[in-house]
Copies of this chain bind each other. A is one copy, B any other.
Amino acid sequence: MATAGKQLFTTLEADGTLTVALEDVSFADPTHNQVLVRMEAAPINPSDLAILVGGADMENAEYMPGKFVARMPEAANAASKARHGLKLPAGNEGAGTVIAAGDSDAAQALVGQRVSCVPGNAYSQYCLSDADMCLPLGEHSVEEGASAFVNPMTALGFVETARADGQNAILHTVGASNLGQMLTRICAEDGIGLVNIVRKSDQVDLLKGLGSEHVVNSSEDDFMDKLTDAIRETGAFYGFDPVGGGTLVDTAFRAMERVAREQMAEYSRYGSNQPKRMFIYGRLDTSPTILTPSYGFGWTLSGWLLFPFLQSIGQETMGRMRQRVRDNLTSTFASSYKSRVTLEEMLTKDAVLDYRAMRTGEKYLVTPWA
């Protein structure tokens, strides 16, 4: 007694043709610990965009009802070789109502409840999810719960990662993002020092309004001096960056080293021994990361991803993090959306060009049944 519904798929061919289209799909009945969720809201996060549109030429794509076909430029296509010919689902997370469940107690307990989940195919009318990965939303709406996983767990994950490394202050290179605002609230609640980098003066105001003490505007002439001051005052030699490409990480390392050198008794040709650490957790800029030889050898740069991190921390820590998200879904972890689109509407030119711009505060929400 399978369930029929629409689901979005994205396919990149070896010749660079990107096809994103809705298909009629048959969803299998849930077994054991699985639940079947009728999906009602799913955000379009930066992490979803890579697989949805990547570097494709969306200005000149061909748009049809429930489908678009675009060209992927040579370089981006070559870099995506591993997915050539694969028809992939999209949509990391979302929320909906559990309409069927496998025979486990955990799965059965969720029947009829609103839950958020992380199925990986959230741009769909139905999803199968493991019951253990569902967060019951209680009285919260599906819209309130749609973004309950990726950004909240990532922001909490930064704090967990920093603390496990003995750090009590963090630098974040995109302070005004949805995730950045959550991180600002978390750090205020937990007494963690935070340096927020933003690009515009209204973003400074936004974060100051959330109580952020150290907001530095990269568009100002004295950015480097102000960043250095903020690092000195907080001791934030540890940071997270979702941009990846260009010199933002390099700038952070240089400012950290300036502070470290101020504290050195004598010159060393090798730079300071102050450990400086940055994590790249996204690729908003897909150009290469540029690291200049300006901060000696006491630095470490790593990639950071949510799922490997969650696998590393164990059930207990993860349970504590999820409980905190659930308890503060409309405060600390609140998300807001600029537009709501159906599965069909998310494939139109107007929508695609708007959400792929990833402007701060302009997140889209997909509502498959609206």
Listed in ascending order, the chain A residues whose CB lies under 8 Å from chain B are 50-51, 79, 82-83, 86, 88, 244-245, 250, 261, 267, 269-270, 273, 280-281, 283, 286, 288-294, 296-305, 307-308
Q: Are A261 and B304 in contact (CB under 8 A)?
A: no
CB-defined contacts of A50 to chain B, threshold 8 Å: 269
CB-defined contacts of A244 to chain B, threshold 8 Å: 293
Nearest-neighbour CB distance to chain B for A332, whole angstroms, equals 25
Q: Are B291 and A79 in contact (CB under 8 A)?
A: no
Nearest-neighbour CB distance to chain B for A51, whole angstroms, equals 5
**Interchain CA distance A297-B282 in the complex, whole Å:** 8
Q: Are B308 and A303 in contact (CB under 8 A)?
A: no
Q: Are B301 and A269 in contact (CB under 8 A)?
A: no
**Interchain CA distance A283-B290 in the complex, whole Å:** 15
Q: Are A305 and B301 in contact (CB under 8 A)?
A: no
Q: Are B293 and A290 in contact (CB under 8 A)?
A: no
Q: Are A298 and B290 in contact (CB under 8 A)?
A: no
CB-defined contacts of A294 to chain B, threshold 8 Å: 79
CB-defined contacts of A267 to chain B, threshold 8 Å: 82-83, 86, 88
| Copies of the chain in the assembly | 2
CB-defined contacts of A292 to chain B, threshold 8 Å: 79, 288-289
**Interchain CA distance A307-B334 in the complex, whole Å:** 47
Q: Contacts A83-B267, A297-B305, A303-B296: A289 and B291 contacting too (C-beta < 8 A)?
A: yes
**Interchain CA distance A291-B286 in the complex, whole Å:** 10
CB-defined contacts of A289 to chain B, threshold 8 Å: 290-293
Nearest-neighbour CB distance to chain B for A20, whole angstroms, equals 14
**Interchain CA distance A297-B269 in the complex, whole Å:** 31
CB nearest neighbor in B for A297: B303
Most buried by B among A79, A283, A286, A302: A302
9 intermolecular pairs with C-beta atoms under 8 Å apart: A86-B267, A281-B297, A290-B290, A298-B303, A298-B308, A299-B302, A299-B303, A300-B301, A300-B303
CB nearest neighbor in B for A48: B269
Q: Are A300 and B300 in contact (CB under 8 A)?
A: yes
CB-defined contacts of A290 to chain B, threshold 8 Å: 288-290
CB-defined contacts of A280 to chain B, threshold 8 Å: 297
Nearest-neighbour CB distance to chain B for A123, whole angstroms, equals 14
Q: Are B51 and A269 in contact (CB under 8 A)?
A: yes
CB nearest neighbor in B for A247: B288
CB-defined contacts of A297 to chain B, threshold 8 Å: 280-281, 303-305, 308
